[in-house]
A and B are shown apart, each in its own frame.
Chain A
Amino acid sequence: MSTTPNKSNRREFLAQAAAISLAPALTALPFAAEAAGRGRVLVLVELAGGNDALNMVPPYADPSYARLRPRLAVRRDQALQLDQHMGLHPALQPLMPVWQAGEMSVVLGLGYPRPNRSHFRSIDIWETGSDSDRHLTTGWLARAMEGAPRVKGSAADAIVLGGGARAVTGAGLRTVVMRDPNQFVRQAGRMQRPATPGGNSALSHILTVQKEIEGTAKQLKKAEMRGREAAAAARGRGQIGRQLQQAAKIIAGGTPVSVIKVSHGGFDTHSNQDGRHRNLLTQLAASLAGFRQAMVRSGDWDRVMVMTYSEFGRRAKQNGSGGTDHGTAAAHLAMGGRVRGGLVGGQPSLTDLDGGDLKHRVDYRSYYRAAATWLDLPGGGAVLGNYRPLPLSKA
């Protein structure tokens, strides 16, 4: 259960130690700095298909890395160096200012015991927060948010702009899934005016959902007016750029909501990975950097935490088609105005592999517990299990 990495590794929890010593001084009033009615927001970015974290966050100095990936490895002179061992893929250049500002944590070695290499099963595990051999039906955030006070005036707790809603699906959580907020508002306009919830429990549920649609549509219309200008700065690239721009508009527009989920797909790079992965990371970096700019401009960056996740990383060794196959542990990125920054967790060894796969160093639920702490959820998300929260945020 312990999330403490192997002591022999040099890059262990240095950042965490610092965080813990600083934390008590700042804990007093978590929401003091925030405008009234504007609570904290968690933005989940799904990297669908299994992101090759070994190339997103390359251990460029490790000789085994180049040996395992003669065609794919990011060379030392290309890597954006984070320290003497770890770097970022050159396509992530737009994120370097975020790193330098100390607003981006690079979380290494996330995974879970007895890893599953099926896309569907493993994303299930990540989104429900389950053990490898357990099937849970509710999302990890839905469980962690149970009993949390609702954001004042909110019509929905979570808005899903892309990909599956599993992480935020569960009893009591008001989750609104939409492909496109404008289309959502248009379609909501055609709905029969919802009646007060009542009748049998099935009917009551439908009427409640209709009320949520009506309320959310109303707020989105308002946000569209107020957030438009700020969101203009969030010009990213591709689908993920559009989704993050919508997210920026919703947040800057003052829509009371706790979680926004977006999705960036195409990471299942079994063949010809080099160019494809570079494009995906280019889109991701441009979109995240644009999103941050919009949030800084609107004064919302301090109440936002962005975190990426994916069903798995990829195998240490490249395959015969210039790609990589399904793997296990992976690095992820977290950023925000009050994110601590730095390297967190531990980079898995490239010589001590488990059947060719990385051994995870930090349970992914430690990462989630950091998000639960950020959202100030009851019990700090202990419902996810006895995992030590990673120190991602400045109190």
Chain B
Amino acid sequence: MLIFQRAAACLALLGALWAAPAAALTYDEARHLLNRTGFGATNAEIEAMLPLSRREAVERLFEGRRSEPVSPAPEWLNSPIRPPKRMKMMSDAERKKYRRARRDMATGLQAWWLAEMAATPSPFTERMTLFWHNHFTSSLRKVKVPHLMYGQNLTLRRYAFGNFRHFVQAMAQDPAMIWYLDNRTNRKGQPNENFARELMELFTLGEGQYSEKDIKESARAFTGWSLDRNTGKFRFYPRLHDDGPKTFMGQSGRFNGHEIIDIIFRHPEASRYIVAKMWRGFVSETPDKAEVERIAAEFRESKFSIRAAMTAILTSNAFWDPKTRGALVKSPVDLLVGTVRTFEAPMKNPRFLVRVSARLGQNIMSPPNVKGWPGGKAWITADTMLMRQQVIAALTGGGGAPQGKQQSMEPPKPTRTAGSGNAKRDMRVFQRTGRMPAGANFKAWLAQLPARNKTAGGLAALLLPIDPVRPIPPGADPAAAVRHLLNDPAYQLK
């Protein structure tokens, strides 16, 4: 069996070498790689990739990865995590004030991350962090201490390219996760199975790979894994831990949580399941079974190195197949951050964009449930489709859908777009007038594009992953062409 696997891996490697010659990337290929591993791409970023081969380009993305954010941490991070006195002891007014302050921190945290996505020199890092956020979900709506969600975000980026098995071990002790999946109340004699169930169903194996008994037994192994109420750090409470013998996936012993995770990782599905999910996130909604099997084998071989799996996925033939371009729907964050980055629009009020993203269906750090956002086609409904067009128009400062009959490229009147700094008010203004405080300087953006990119074909290659559904009308000037492309359904794809 092992020999066979080795042989298969060698053959696959030969195949990959043969199929991916060290030729320089085309413009379309470079844009595709950047769009899929980041958020949009500027013309300059695309051109910088052009001399590289596929493998070199992917390598460069990894070299640029970061383990820490560039944006300074939110100021309130050093504030105490516990309320000044018990909520029950507070007056209604105090409680209201406290809750408002917490909500403000939560929005501030979401804005911090969105701003990081727009500002980072390594969009690949943010893309991976977002992928993991949608895998190891936790939500500000349940985890009432934003400090813990910030801590989780740091953990997600620290392990984003690292070892998946260690990652799972870290998440099992992540305070926000412990809160989110109720492991705080998982005690000897009164087990709470929430974490144990999702650990297998959503994080590592997928449904059908374990029994209800495995859930019950493994839940006992995680009893006593909780938080310190004062510091918000992970804490093991030996007295609440059930160290009795357990039978899990056919093995018996006095297992603790670490050992349960180690047993899970001996299951072949532990490599297939996550590789298939990565495939859906980065290549297409329909994973190629043979390819997933090949990459899962490499993943196991590498002792679960995420970087190894991602390299295999990003250098697969399927990833580079022209048919793969434009096969995924942009998420709201893709659309917003991608547009901001592509048009080099300053993110003036990230709190406002957090609201817009939520309105489009992706309230970051508050996924709808433990499964995360279903994503894909589900992003597009009649409501979000119309809203997306409005948002693009406003974000690009008049580049998108024409507002009413007027097709002027003039930036919208400053009185309405200056932004009040109040995200709620800005949202109301936007819904009423279609104007927002984050518009790009569209004229300046167009002026700096090299002449060769200002043709209809050049603009389409920069902005769309596939040909526009409706061709650019002949004789359209560059501004009209951009407006046309942003309004094209293909702009919703990546």
User: Is B a genuine binding partner of A?
Assistant: yes
Closest to B494 in A: A202
Q: Contacts A120-B141, A212-B382, A271-B92; is A203 near B493 (CB within 8 Å)? A: yes
B365 CB to closest chain A CB (Å) equals 14
- CB neighbours of B382 from chain A (8 A): 156, 175-178, 184, 209, 212-213, 216
B320 CB to closest chain A CB (Å) equals 16
- CB neighbours of B139 from chain A (8 A): 120
Q: Chain B CB within 10 Å — which of A175, A178, A200 has the most?
A: A200
- CB neighbours of A2 from chain B (8 A): none
Contact with A along B288-313 (1 / 0, CB 8 A): 00000000000000000000000000
Q: Contact: B490 with A213, CB < 8 Å?
A: no
From B162-170, B270-278, B346-354, B366-374, give the one contacting chain A: B366-374
Among A133, A137, A190, A202, the residue within 8 A (CB) of B493 is: A202
Among B326, B378, B401, the residue within 8 A (CB) of A191 is: B401
Complex CA distance for A280 and B376, rounded to whole angstroms: 37
B-side interface residues, number (CB < 8 Å): 43
From B42-50, B228-236, B384-392, B420-428, give the one contacting chain A: B384-392
Among B369, B376, B390, B402, the residue within 8 A (CB) of A135 is: B369
Range class of the A interface residue count? 35 or more
- CB neighbours of A188 from chain B (8 A): 386
A27 CB to closest chain B CB (Å) equals 36
Q: Contact: A120 with B376, CB < 8 Å?
A: no
Q: Contact: A203 with B369, CB < 8 Å?
A: no
Q: Contacts A187-B390, A192-B488; is A121 near B369 (CB within 8 Å)? A: yes
Q: Is B142 an interface residue (CB 8 A)?
A: yes
- CB neighbours of A203 from chain B (8 A): 326, 466, 469, 489-490, 493
Among A175, A201, A210, the residue within 8 A (CB) of B377 is: A201
- CB neighbours of A165 from chain B (8 A): 381, 383
Complex CA distance for A124 and B371, rounded to whole angstroms: 12
B230 CB to closest chain A CB (Å) equals 25
Q: Is A169 an interface residue (CB 8 A)?
A: yes
- CB neighbours of A202 from chain B (8 A): 285, 326-329, 376-377, 493
Q: Contacts A135-B371, A175-B381; is A195 near B470 (CB within 8 Å)? A: yes
A168 CB to closest chain B CB (Å) equals 10
- CB neighbours of A175 from chain B (8 A): 381-382
B427 CB to closest chain A CB (Å) equals 12
* CB contact list, A320-344 vs B, under 8 A: 320-321
Q: Contact: B326 with A176, CB < 8 Å?
A: no
Closest to A121 in B: B369
Q: Contacts A120-B369, A175-B381; is A187 near B386 (CB within 8 Å)? A: yes
Contact with B along A59-91 (1 / 0, CB 8 A): 000000000000000000000000000000000
- CB neighbours of B92 from chain A (8 A): 271-272, 321
Q: Is B487 an interface residue (CB 8 A)?
A: yes
Q: Chain B CB within 10 Å — which of A202, A206, A216 has the most?
A: A202
A212 CB to closest chain B CB (Å) equals 6
Q: Contacts A176-B383, A212-B382; is A135 near B469 (CB within 8 Å)? A: no
Q: Contact: B142 with A118, CB < 8 Å?
A: yes
A162 CB to closest chain B CB (Å) equals 11
- CB neighbours of A121 from chain B (8 A): 369
Complex CA distance for A169 and B381, rounded to whole angstroms: 10
Closest to B202 in A: A135
Q: List 14 A-B contacts (CB under 8 A).
A: A120-B142, A133-B197, A169-B378, A178-B383, A179-B383, A190-B389, A192-B487, A200-B466, A202-B327, A203-B489, A206-B385, A209-B380, A209-B382, A210-B489
Lowest 7 CB-CB distances: which A-B pairs, in order?
A177-B383, A176-B382, A187-B386, A205-B377, A206-B489, A213-B382, A195-B469
Q: Give 16 A-B pairs besides A156-B382, A206-B489 with Cβ atoms closer than 8 angstroms.
A: A137-B374, A160-B383, A175-B382, A177-B381, A177-B384, A179-B431, A192-B470, A192-B487, A195-B469, A202-B327, A202-B376, A202-B493, A203-B326, A205-B329, A216-B382, A321-B92
